[in-house]
Structure 1
Amino acid sequence: MNKTKWVLIFLLPVQWLSIHLIKNQSLWIEQIYSQKVYPLLFKLQRFFFSALPFSFGDLAYGLAGVYIIWSLIQLLKRKLKARTLIVNTIAVASLLSLCFHLLWGLNYYRIPLNEKLNYNLEYNEDQLEETLKSIIESTNNLHQSLTPYDSVAVQIPYSKTEIKEQLQSNFHFKLADFKTQPYLKNSLWNTVLSYMGFAGYLNPLTLESQVNRKIPKLNYITTAAHEMAHQLGIASESEANFIAYYSCAFHSDPFIQFSGYSFALRYCYSELYKANPEKAKNQLLRLRPGVLKNFQQLSDFWKKFQNPFEPYFKKGYDSYLKANGQPKGILSYNAMVGMVVAHTLEGELAPE
């Protein structure tokens, strides 16, 4: 048996113990890894992968899938011993875990963005309602400037390639200093992602930000911004969502601004509805009907891809998030509302 495999197997529990010991050292991770080591790693990865016209990470995932299927076939044909397959699997899992944490995963344990911005994530119902009211006003104003009819959905006039170029060239988040410039790629597995219920993802091994090219443009904009935030070393889903909202809402282009505000609107409305359905419904009455049509378009898209397996993919992703320091799992996305409320209460309510 190859000694390297046994070394990797031995390293797996060592890795778990090491992560357990350092995950509470957020200041060290922030200052050494996230601020110094990670930017260098990303620049190196960008040098190798950004010029490729396709997602290398997606290609690697596809080849890995083929290899897994081949291994299972060989096992069924008894050409591959079960013991060998188990040893290989554990060794590969150890290697992937090591690469994951060294290349990107340690960012899960950095200082939370709200602490760096001095944002209090606690808010009451009235503050949430005022925030929603402000966001509805901004969304309505943008909708009115982009279409003459209040009952017509906003149509993004740009191609997805143009959207990608705009976001890459003008990624705006003045609240924090990022030392790297993000970039985007369209996924090779758009249909697969759609059936899994995913709009995009960051490959933590190649650090490529993938966006599902099938999704509606309104969704494409904020998804792209969200994945670029991950690429900048923001691992938390709530923080990536907040940066997506901010970078879009304060972008120079009004269509991208509309995408940002309508994105935050959906989350804030959802949280207010949980607390007080009547207040949430009353606020929704203030929204121009055309904006609701934009939301309906997003809903209609995802309904087309609903399938019995989607909940299992979401459950797996939920477990992944919980295993990486996000105890709310997939509900972590909604936690961005606390940051939106805190930011809104500071008084920066409209695009600059």
Structure 2
Amino acid sequence: MKFSVLKRIHFIVIIFLQLQLIFLYIVRQNPLLVEKYYSNAFYPYFFNIYKSLLNNISFSIGDFLYLFIATYLIISFLKIIKGGFNFKYIITKILSIISIIIFIFYSSWGLNYFRLPLNKKLGYNINYTEKEIENTLNILIKNSNHLHEILTNNDSLAVKVPYNKAKIASLIENGFNFDLEKYDAKPYLKNSMLSTPLSYMGYAGYLNPFTLEAQINSKVPKLNYIFTAAHEMAHQLGVASESEANFIAFYTCIKNLDPFIQFSGYVFALNYCYNELIKVNPLVANKEIKNLNFGIKENFRELSQFWKSYQNPIEPILKKGFDSYLKVNGQTHGIKSYDEMTSLIIAYLQKRI
């Protein structure tokens, strides 16, 4: 009797999975509806409820959730081995779990992947010429050099952020300002308890889509910490696109009153623009980068050394998995979508030249 009821529940959940896939196909085609009714109406209200429940808890509930899921999967696998291989039951159970996860994921945060693109809302032309990339890189180098000299009084020294990471988080939370668009919520940040695994996976942070906590890898260097914190907070406000979250991180950092926060915004944007120009014209890119202060290059070397110290054979496999996840959710260039912030930065700066 019990097995029969369970079987019926699994059947209903699997039917629901098919209905969800049809629904997701429809909403993909209607970004204006997603923008109006989900991203700007339901999501801010939903997020503020979660924030009121979780913000005052110092540790990450999301990390515990992932540990619980991992433990559950291991125990389930061991039970399958011990109890014999019932193919039909296993497939049914897996599909049931997938159905539940998809429902929670897309209802709590994931539908933001299908909202109206930021460039359309801001009226930005995201097509650009080689000369525009070069001009943008030049602007970013000049601003980075200017801030660097203010912060170090020596163009050969790397910038050392004097704040602890709790202070950095507070500065970004309180100064988070994307006034190009209105958000009916205020973000917040938590250090991940899984920072060491995240380092080996090659991730500086992540948004937990089930608890809506912006998680950051507490081990990353402070300049990386600043930009990542702003990036994950943008996700927390409902900006799912990686390129858009990067652009908002850049914007809110350079608008911050603190020069160290501003510096992080400029140098990370500079790095993305340099990488874009080097694909198009390596000679011009390398000529421009010679104008960058030696001390800033030292900052980049420190960041590179940090990530190299955690390199391992599993990281590329995990990155491929994340790449596939992004592509499934409408980011056609997958993990390369991060680099597409360049088009938004160029459009933003061109409007101000």
Is TM-score (shorter-chain normalized) higher than 0.5?
A: yes
CA distance in structure 1 between the aligned counterparts of 2:166 and 2:87, rounded to whole angstroms: 46
Cα distance, 1:87 vs. partner?
2.4
1:240 matched residue in structure 2: 245
Q: Equivalences for 1:1-352 in 2 at 5 Å?
A: 1=3, 2=6, 3-78=8-83, 81-347=86-352
Cα distance, 1:70 vs. partner?
1.3
Instruction: Please give the secondary structure, in 1, of the residue aligned with 2:215.
Output: strand
Cα distance, 1:6 vs. partner?
2.1
Instruction: Please give the secondary structure, in 2, of the residue aligned with 1:185.
Output: strand
Q: Is contact 1:71–1:80 with CA below 8 Å preserved after alignment? A: no
Give a deviation string over 1:26-81, Cα, whole Å, max 9, x none: 11111111110001110111122111111111101001111111111222222675
Give a deviation string over 1:240-275, Cα, whole Å, max 9, x none: 000000100111000000000001000000000000
Letter in 2 for 1:88: K
Give a deviation string over 1:173-216, Cα, whole Å, max 9, x none: 11111110000011111011111111111011111100000110
CA distance in structure 2 between the aligned counterparts of 1:101 and 1:241, rounded to whole angstroms: 22
Letter in 2 for 1:95: I
Instruction: Please give the secondary structure, in 2, of the residue aligned with 1:119.
Output: coil
Q: Is contact 1:74–1:80 with CA below 8 Å preserved after alignment? A: no
**Number of aligned pairs?**
348
CA distance in structure 1 between the aligned counterparts of 2:108 and 2:94, rounded to whole angstroms: 21
CA distance in structure 1 between the aligned counterparts of 2:10 and 2:213, rounded to whole angstroms: 28
Cα distance, 1:82 vs. partner?
4.8
Instruction: Please give the secondary structure, in 2, of the residue aligned with 1:51.
Output: coil
CA distance in structure 2 between the aligned counterparts of 1:289 and 1:204, rounded to whole angstroms: 40
CA distance in structure 2 between the aligned counterparts of 1:332 and 1:309, rounded to whole angstroms: 22
CA distance in structure 2 between the aligned counterparts of 1:218 and 1:150, rounded to whole angstroms: 17
Q: Is contact 1:216–1:298 with CA below 8 Å preserved after alignment? A: yes
Instruction: Please give the secondary structure, in 1, of the residue aligned with 2:83.
Output: coil
Cα distance, 1:12 vs. partner?
1.1
Q: Is contact 1:225–1:248 with CA below 8 Å preserved after alignment? A: yes
Cα distance, 1:88 vs. partner?
2.2
Letter in 2 for 1:332: S
Can you give the 5+ residue segments of structure 2 that lack an aligned partner in the other structure? none
Instruction: Please give the secondary structure, in 2, of the residue aligned with 1:342.
Output: helix
Give the superposed CA RMSD.
Answer: 1.1
CA distance in structure 2 between the aligned counterparts of 1:62 and 1:256, rounded to whole angstroms: 33
Letter in 2 for 1:286: N
Higher deviation after alignment, 45-54 or 274-283: 45-54
Q: Is contact 1:75–1:82 with CA below 8 Å preserved after alignment? A: no
CA distance in structure 2 between the aligned counterparts of 1:90 and 1:28, rounded to whole angstroms: 29
Letter in 2 for 1:174: D
Q: Is contact 1:151–1:288 with CA below 8 Å preserved after alignment? A: yes
TM-score, normalized by length of structure 2? Answer: 0.96
CA distance in structure 1 between the aligned counterparts of 2:267 and 2:180, rounded to whole angstroms: 21
Letter in 1 for 2:285: A
CA distance in structure 2 between the aligned counterparts of 1:95 and 1:28, rounded to whole angstroms: 24
